[in-house]
Amino acid sequence: MKGIMVMGTASDVGKSLVCTALCRLLANDGIRVAPFKSQNLSPYTELTNDGTPISRAQFIQAEAARVEPTSDMNPIILQPGAEGMLTGTFCGKPLEPVSGMAYRDVYYEQAIQAIERSLESLRESFEAIVIEGAGSPVEMNLLERDIVNMRVAELADVPVVLVADIDRGGVFASIVGTLTLMQPSQRDRVKAIVINKFKGDPAGFQEGVEFIESNTGIPVAGVLPYKSDHGIAEEDTNRLQTHAPNGIDPYESWAEHVLQHVDWPLLKRICGLKETSL
| pLDDT 10s digits, 71-129 | 999 999 998 888 789 999 988 888 889 998 889 888 999 999 999 999 999 999 999 99
The answer to whether residue 93 sits within a structural domain is yes
The answer to whether residue 229 sits within a structural domain is yes
pLDDT digit string (tens) for 128-162? 999 999 999 999 999 999 999 999 999 999 999 99
Q: Which pLDDT belongs to residue 277?
A: 43
Task: Please state the separation of Cα 103 from the chain's center in Å.
Answer: 23
pTM of the model: 0.94
- As for how many domains the chain has, the answer is 1
Q: Which pLDDT belongs to residue 34?
A: 98
Q: Which pLDDT belongs to residue 242?
A: 54
Share of the chain above pLDDT 90, in %: 79
CATH number for 67: 3.40.50.300
Whether pLDDT at 278 is above 80: no
Average pLDDT for the chain: 92
The answer to whether residue 220 sits within a structural domain is yes
Question: What's the 3-state SS for the chain?
Answer: CEEEEEEECCCCCCHHHHHHHHHHHHHHCCCCEEEECCEEECCCEEECCCCCEEEHHHHHHHHHHCCCCCHHHCCEEEEECHHHEEEEEECCEEEEEEEHHHHHHHHHHHHHHHHHHHHHHHHHHCCEEEEECCCCCCCCCCHHHCCCCHHHHHHHCCCEEEEEEHHHCCHHHHHHHHHHHCCHHHHHHEEEEEEEEECCCHHHHHHHHHHHHHHHCCCEEEEEECCCCCCCCCCCCCCCCCCCHHHCCHHHHHHHHHHCCECHHHHHHHHCCCCCCC
The answer to whether residue 278 sits within a structural domain is no
Residues 6 or more apart whose CB falls under 8 angstroms from that of 91 comprise 71, 75, 76, 110, 114
In this structure, is the dihedral angle defined by the CA atoms of residues 68, 63, 261 and 228, taken in order, positive or negative?
A: negative
pLDDT digit string (tens) for 238-274? 545 555 556 689 999 999 999 999 999 999 999 999 7
Q: Which domain holds residue 140?
A: 2-268
For the ranges 2-11, 170-179, 237-246, which has the lowest average pLDDT?
237-246
Whether pLDDT at 53 is above 60: yes
Q: Which pLDDT belongs to residue 236?
A: 59
Confidence of residue 229 (pLDDT cuts 50, 70, 90): confident
The answer to whether residue 275 sits within a structural domain is no
The answer to whether residue 34 sits within a structural domain is yes
The answer to whether residue 14 sits within a structural domain is yes
Whether pLDDT at 276 is above 80: no
Q: Which pLDDT belongs to residue 235?
A: 66
The answer to whether residue 131 sits within a structural domain is yes
Q: Which pLDDT belongs to residue 234?
A: 73
Alpha-carbon separation of residue 253 from 87, 181, 230, 231, 245 (angstroms) = 36, 36, 7, 9, 10
Residues 6 or more apart whose CB falls under 8 angstroms from that of 211 comprise 172
